[in-house]
Structure 1
Amino acid sequence: MKTKNNIFFKFLITIMGILLIIVVFSFYKRPSLDFRIKNLKLETQAIYLIQRGTTGKLGNLAKDFNLKNKYASHLGIGFIKDGELNIYHIYVKKNAHKNNLFIETIEDFTKPEDLNYVSVWKLNNINTEKFESIKNTLISSEKENIIFDFDFDENNEKYYCSEFVVRALRKNDIQIMQDHKKKVVGFASQMLRKDSLIYFPVDGFEGSDKTTKIFEWIK
């Protein structure tokens, strides 16, 4: 009986040790990301594309429409303002102004609890004139009442995240990706009320000479 109790006690200690290790490593992952973000070397006269990935239902659904990237589910665009990277992005939830355009620092952009991916890409060959033009386009968008495009229709005045980025850059004669057609089935087909979708993938610019990846974090 004593031997069995000893075996059980050792087993319990082992399980508790494993759980403690998991908790400790989970605790230290987030500070590591915060530290790396705060120490990013970013240029004041540059335009950046920022991806993030989450593990919730919407995040996982969005990843199904990527071309290659297994992690990214959302895309924003930004520049340095007052020493911080400010990110413009369209999200499904409403903001305080009852529309879907959010302007956040990268610290706020990476706050979702289910975050599992972040990457930052610099747009290549952007001179001062082009930088100012793109920046002004983004600033002007703050005055618009931008609504999320649940129909994923290129011909309306609504936007989803990657479409907003593509349109903002096209206004400045920059083409970072082409649209993509995909057959949709199951839950996605029911939600979109379509059998196929023409859209701009969150990772549609990757692999081109238009951008350079300068940061990546995978949980």
Structure 2
Amino acid sequence: MPANPDRPAARLVVLVSGSGTNLQALLDAATDPAYGAEVVAVGADRDNIEGLERAQRAGVETFVRRVKDFDDRAAWDADLAAAVAAHRPDVVVLAGFMKLVGESFLSAFGGRVLNTHPALSPSFPGMRGPADALEYGVKVTGCTLFVVDAGVDTGPIVAQSAVDVEPDDDVESLHERIKSAERTMLVEAVGRMAREGFVVEGRQVRFGTVRHQGRQPLG
């Protein structure tokens, strides 16, 4: 679907902790004006990572907020929220961001923060999704895009993509296929949210449909 010509591109702030492959997928998609969204800033919790370099090569502003530079986690969370807010995001994407955001952050952006998980939620929460799927012996796993809440991988689900578990899979091979599906899912879902708007109603995330009250004001 083409972008709405009457609506400016949705503003994305992306937070990263590592190589930034999901960030790169969003940067690439945003080069097409019809995508409906642009990455306006990239933040990180570490210096000297490839994710920041990807942003800089694309001409996107970057910032770093390291936990160790603050007295406590709450102070870091509040400062991170302020740094993100300075860029007036419509949506914040945690793209391989390896820190849990807290109360200050969710108070500022609650309902507009997205994260991915390498399993079909609510199955296999936490850091070991692909390994847990293999150990359990499931035949299908995948990835989930969700709206971040105060829990761990518990927020309302935006999109999911299934990935078959092959008989000869190990954790690395399975995880690589999940990450590939994750990038496609993320780009498609964020673009749709940008173009159509969305609303979170309980555990349901609905796209567009202007009859819903409280639709997120993207762009």
Q: TM-score, normalised by structure 2?
A: 0.28
Q: TM-score, normalised by structure 1?
A: 0.28
